[in-house]
Structure 1
Amino acid sequence: MESVRYWAVVPAAGVGRRMNADMPKQYLDIHGKPIMVHTLERLLGFSIDKKPLLEKIVVVVDRDDEYYHRLDVSRDPRILLAEGGSERYHSVLKGLEVLVDLAAPNDWVLVHDVARPCIRRSDLGLLVGQLKDHPIGGLLGVPVTDTIKAANADGVVNKTVDRQGLWHAMTPQMFRFSMLRDALKKALDDNMPVTDEASAIEYSGSQPVMVEGHGDNIKITRGTDLALASLYIEQQSKLLEMS
């Protein structure tokens, strides 16, 4: 297979209403740094054979964002900027459009939630290593271990769902550039809302691969997640110091 390059898109146009904070959640601090900075530093620092893997990272922010340009990391030469859309998949597509004149059709794009600052570099390596020769791509996740209930609108349980084969989907989600762009365009043209990139790939008729990562790759959504992410980052730092 021909040599390919790797790019990333980080959708960061959300406002995080469930956090009940006075700023978008990606700018809340953990250990003295905004969540976004933790996330971008991990992506920028990811290397294989001592060479940074990602050519460029496109950060997609809201047009009225007043915080992004205050960050030192925003001036990193490997970071590009795009204006977000109304939904996540609009924002990701806008991020991909920035790469149209840079990325080859068969290049890889990693889409990663800005609110997942605990992504391990070992999990990034696992994702890239397992999928580098795959024709489509896939995503990080962890198998479901909890008992899953299906309930109606009133909270009344209808049934217990067989968890065999069920996964918690995470990011990064890694797909071929043109395939992902075409899949998101199709979903948009068909007015088919998709909640992640893998959903768009599935809707286009292809089958992504699940790659098992670590459960500490959490998405910060509510206030309690902030404390948990802080703990995970602290634990991961200690592990790095010991290695």
Structure 2
Amino acid sequence: MRNAEFNDPGLVAVYDAECPWGPDDDFFLAEVGADPAARVLDFGCGTGRLTLALAAAGHTVTGVDPARASLDAARAKPGADRVTWIEGGGEALLPAGAYDVALMTSHVAQFVVDDDEWRQLLGALRRSLHDGGRLLFDSRDPADRRWQRWNPIDSRRMVHLPAGDAVLTWMDVTAANDLVVHFTRHFRFPDGELRSDAVLRFRTEQELRGSLDEAGFRVERIHGGWQGEPVGEGNDGEFVVVATAV
């Protein structure tokens, strides 16, 4: 199943257990904190780890995601009543000028594979922000070639669920052409195995800058990691983008 880890309730539970708070969350929470009591759009909010923290910090937060199972998990968490949750994609980003900050975290940008859809999404995000509003997101640097480590040996790990079960998970790449990478995640439960197929688009820094400029953003900074490293330095292999709506 395509993107089952976000759409299957059992796999959503694995995702939550596998992805605790990390340095990326610290970065985005601190960046948004530069605008006290900001109106924040968390696009692709998933199970709401960062979304809920932003609301707890005093921001007015809207979480948007197309995966109902992920949103159901987010809505069931403490503090969820502080957030406006919307099931949908770019078409749900209304009204115009409603937000001070828009986020796309956990490499949500890479799940938008088609370049026309990427342009449309950036356009919708620009319309959702007032002039001077900020867009913050991450996307893996293709020069890091992270997908080469997505194999059954290097990606193999055990995830322990709160109920006590242990799930063995691993990845394998099935195709990688023109920076479009197809891969499968395997999940071995005590009583059976599930899989989740996915496709990611790795965009170069030049491609990101060009598409942001076309959509009406000015790139303020692109870091190469969560500690503000220059692109290509450090071990994170990221593009961490801070852009302003102009």
Task: Please tell me the TM-score bracket, short chain as reference.
Answer: 0.3 to 0.5
Q: Flag the structure with higher strand content.
A: 2
Q: Structure with the greater relative contact order (CA < 8 A, sep ≥ 6): 1 or 2?
A: 1
TM-score by length of 1: 0.33
